[in-house]
Amino acid sequence: MPALMAFVAQRPGAAFLAFAALHVCVWTMLPSLIYSNLPLDLIEALTYGREWQLGSDKLPPLPWWLVEVAHRFVGADFAYYLLGEISVIAALAAVWATARALVGDMAALAAVLIVDGLHYLNYTAAKFNHDVIQLPFWALAGYAFRSGLRGGGTGAWLLLGIAIGGAFWAKYFVVVLIVPLGLFMLIDREARPTLKTAGPWLAAGTALLVMAPHLVWLAAHDFLPLSYASARATAPHAVIDHLLHPVEFAVSQAFFLVPSLLIAAPLLWPRPVAIAAPADALDRRLVTLLAFGPAATLIAGSLITGRGLVAMWGYPLWLFLGLWIVLTAGATIDRLQFRRVALTWATVFSTFALAFLTNYVVMPRFDHRYRATLFPGRELARTLSERYRAATGQAPAYVIATMWVGGNIAHYTPEQPRVLIDGNPQRAPWIDLADLKARGALVAWVEGDRSAVPAKLQPGAAGASVQPPVTVQSECGRSSVEVGWAILPPQP
């Protein structure tokens, strides 16, 4: 351990790279070895991404495009999990760079270890999705915003605009970051003068330029994804919901932050001897803003509207919390304190890895709980494609099914047919219905009566010939999935 402390003190950059390499290796390897089926978010990404659309009925397309690129150039599952880790490490690198300028090398690494206690950055980051891809853009925006206000020049403001624009392509949630940043420049006495310079306006113009293609698409499609966002944020049913919904979210975030607070504990107890603040007043206000501003904005919005909040929306909210804790501790971190922080982080890191193994390897043998990553997607695709080919003499060109069932069949079938999601042309407007009718389709479902096409799929599957149901075994071999399926014959 003394040698490790000396290494961290003498070569902080190499120490961060060693941390990053360990993080990437562990959290790419674990899902690659354990998941027998891709998670829902990745199946969805592979279904949407292949279409290369500027928008969808749900969310912006950036993570879907990245998954499609990984699919085309690598084609192995580990590449999708690696995307998640690249996003996490890029975010932590931006936090580390911000912290180094304020608190020094060792304290900056401590700030990174603290925030890595969030399960968002390890256990759940394997399910690469819109929440994960937000992380580097939010962290980069924080770094650029601070640099811009501290005289970083045109480059810093340009970088801020790119980060905000990129975050918009990741998820519309970026609004809860934009609002506090804007309010800070309006309210803070030291930040306000920057509004008289070109910097903030350059950032705003750059962000709008980056967003422009998707904004045009949204306007042309009547802002279609807003209905999905509205459905996710549960509408209030009583006045008390204006209080209950934000409190529930705050409690969930407090619970998720417990490991990070444990990692930070050696910096706060025993109480360190106070010394001169490692950052000036403006920097301390900036870090406080980055650590709590977006979360406060989100909770305030829930208080006003009464709408519910999803716990997993907390992904990018706490990236700068570790830096805020280090600043709040008010003392230079010595090697003993850093050693305790590092040991606690190692314990938390190992606990998350062990929990991951337990949940996906051990528990399925006992609890028989449904896990998407143990769904028999490969066997389902093989069985139905073989039967479809035997009945029609050709491979399926289209699948009519829910996102989950259809996405699994499309991904794991060698010919990779396209998916008419839910049999609803509005959910997949890129599908040429005339071509679908001319070439036919495979229809599949796993819910309800397996001897009749569900009403949900009927709009796109009218005239389909129902086939005898098939049963496929789950990967753990302790449960099975009965699948109803039908053939929509070609209609030249």
Interval 464-474: pLDDT, tens: 899 999 999 87
pLDDT score recorded for residue 94 = 98
Q: Give the helix/strand (H/E) hosting 293.
A: helix 281-305
Are residues 437 and 331 part of one domain? Answer: no
Strand residues in 66-117 grouped as ranges (E): none
The β-bridge partners of 467 are 485
Are residues 118 and 7 part of one domain? Answer: yes
Are residues 434 and 286 part of one domain? Answer: no
Q: In whole angstroms, what is the distance from residue 421 CA to residue 47 CA?
A: 9
Query: Is residue 397 a part of any domain in this protein?
Result: yes
The 3-state DSSP class for residue 343 equals: helix
Tens-digit pLDDT profile for residues 15-50? 899 999 999 999 999 999 999 999 999 999 999 999
Among candidate residues 302, 335, 362, the one where a domain is terminated:
362
Are residues 155 and 257 part of one domain? Answer: yes
The β-bridge partners of 487 are 442, 465
Query: Is residue 183 a part of any domain in this protein?
Result: yes
pLDDT score recorded for residue 312 = 92
The first and second tokens of residue 329, run together, are 């501790």
pLDDT score recorded for residue 231 = 76
pLDDT score recorded for residue 279 = 74
Half-sphere exposure of 149 (CA within 13 A, CB side): 25
Are residues 44 and 175 part of one domain? Answer: yes
Are residues 97 and 143 part of one domain? Answer: yes
Are residues 145 and 107 part of one domain? Answer: yes
Are residues 412 and 295 part of one domain? Answer: no
Query: Is residue 368 a part of any domain in this protein?
Result: no
Among candidate residues 329, 362, 395, the one where a domain is terminated:
362
The 3-state DSSP class for residue 203 equals: helix
Containing domain of residue 453, as a range?
A: 375-488
Are residues 347 and 215 part of one domain? Answer: yes
Query: Is residue 44 a part of any domain in this protein?
Result: yes
pLDDT score recorded for residue 12 = 80
Name the one residue in this structure whose structure tokens are 């490969």: 378
pLDDT score recorded for residue 477 = 57
The β-bridge partners of 421 are 401
The first and second tokens of residue 303, run together, are 């208080």
Query: Is residue 35 a part of any domain in this protein?
Result: yes
pLDDT score recorded for residue 177 = 97
Q: Domain tally for the chain?
A: 2
Torsion of CA 430, 433, 438, 442, to 10 degrees: 80
Are residues 405 and 271 part of one domain? Answer: no
Query: Is residue 245 a part of any domain in this protein?
Result: yes
Among candidate residues 362, 397, 429, the one where a domain is terminated:
362
Query: Is residue 83 a part of any domain in this protein?
Result: yes
Are residues 382 and 347 part of one domain? Answer: no
Residues of the chain with pLDDT under 50: none
Query: Is residue 370 a part of any domain in this protein?
Result: no
Q: In whole angstroms, what is the distance from residue 6 CA to residue 319 CA?
A: 27
Q: What phi and psi values does residue 98 have, to the nearest 5 degrees?
A: -65, -45
Are residues 274 and 183 part of one domain? Answer: yes
